[in-house]
Amino acid sequence: MASGVVLHVALAWPSLWSTVDDAWITARVAQNLVAGLGPVFSAGEPVEAYSDPEWMLLLAAALRLGLDPYPVMVFVGLAFGAIVPVLSAWLTSTLAGRFDLRAGAAALICGASMHLAIVATNGLETSTWIAAVVATCAASLSATTPRGWMVAGTLAGTLAWIRPEGPFVALAAACWALVVGRRNAIPFLASALPWVAGIQAWRAWTFGTLVANPVTAKASADWARVLRKNLAYVDLDLGLWEVVAVVVLASLALPGDRRRRLVPVVLAFLLLTGMVRVEEWMPGARLLVPMWVLGAAAWCSADVRRAWLIAPVLGAFGVLASPIGERARAYDERNTVLPGNQAGRAAAWLAEQVPAGTVAMRDAGVVAYHLGPGYRVDETHPQALSKPHPGGHPTRPARGAPDLLVTTLREPDAEDFVYKEDRMLFERREWRFLGRVEQHHRRYYDLWARPGSDLPELPPDLRLR
């Protein structure tokens, strides 16, 4: 197990400080909570703009203590990523019926995942989610006493605080408790329900709804289009995840306790359905990594005295995954935010000059966070989490003219905008150009001020032009 932990840390370290833009959306909500504005993206707009309540509360606690959220994001993510190989070993030994070298093999396979290493430190809740899912699965399968089922129920209940699909995983674990024995479900549910009820009470009190806004925001998306787009991103990994899916399914044919092994396999494919609803654009294929971890435990739990094919199959799989993992790291390096990036520094400088105002933008992460709580943000994405989506309908940009308009471009010398929403807002009126800044590869922003506003042009050291 120690080898898996060390290997994970070694693989994650080179990309430790690379975070995705969406991580700063959650950080902005935490920033507003600490500022006394509530867990909202913009003051006076009670909308659940995040999909990770426990991560938001963690960042809020860090900010309240005066800590920089950047190292908190990456080091907490790294720590939970390092726990995943250990939890995989626990799940493997639970499926196998004893703790032996097979548990160590599963930990090593998880630690060797370049994709796990990448997503663990991308600034979001990914590694805490994977760790909680695996822990819930292992606890549910190993529980034999009321106390054990209470632990499993507690872990399952906390999933609702980590991601919107958490209650569905908890429900799957509750079904297993009913299958094993009806009495087992009582301590399980008694421990899980307070956590689920707690997040629902928080949601109802704060936002006036029982349905998470990320769920309704994605409801209007064309499922077929999202799936096609996700498959295009999956193609970047050269068929790795298609192979992983087949290998995970094939584990059911291996000798051993197939009934218990069915639990992580079903759970892996249940989580895979998220690809139909959520765009998998982030580096590392973060929605697919749980399948790798659960599949490693399922394979390694087989009766090795008869399953002589396990070693060569896993060895060949590792050889296949290594160069693909390097491709994933290269993609991560190009498409993530690094400390001190120009876009963040420019936004912070503008906030120092003019502490309050309104801004419209499509990519409302880094720039919105560094502008600070004084700015009300109109996020122009049709499925923006920062806006309500009654009935699951997409949203449109606000009609009024913001003080600041941020438009997105792909290249440093590009002349046209990436998004139609940017073009629509730009064509409504005249704007005063403040400067072009770089966030990361193929992500540049033009900053425009409304005529008559006090926003100054960016100094030369904070802009490309």
Q: Where are the domains of the chain?
A: 2-334, 342-462
Q: Which two tokens stand for residue 8?
A: 């994970």
Q: Quote the pLDDT of residue 308.
A: 46
Q: Quote the pLDDT of residue 288.
A: 86
Helix (H, G, I), strand (E, B) or coil at 425: helix
State the Cα–Cα distance between residues 132 and 356, nearest whole angstrom: 39
Across the 465 residues of the chain, what is the mean pLDDT of every consecutive 10-residue run?
A: 87 92 95 96 91 96 96 97 96 92 88 90 95 96 92 96 92 89 86 96 92 77 71 73 85 87 92 70 75 92 63 54 73 86 96 96 92 94 80 69 94 91 90 94 92 94 90
**Residue 412: what are its φ and ψ, rounded to 5°?**
-65, -20
CATH among 3.30.420, 3.30.70, 3.40.190, 3.40.720 for 342-462: 3.40.190
| Residue at token pair 């908190």 | 72
Helix (H) / strand (E) containing 141: helix 126-142
Please provide the size of the chain in residues: 465
State the Cα–Cα distance between residues 250 and 269, nearest whole angstrom: 13
- The bridge status of strand 375-379 relative to strand 357-361 is parallel
pTM for this model (two decimals): 0.93
State the Cα–Cα distance between residues 182 and 237, nearest whole angstrom: 43
State the Cα–Cα distance between residues 422 and 417, nearest whole angstrom: 7
Q: Which two tokens stand for residue 4?
A: 């898996």
State the Cα–Cα distance between residues 176 and 277, nearest whole angstrom: 25
Q: Quick one: CA dihedral 117, 119, 124, 125, positive or negative?
A: negative
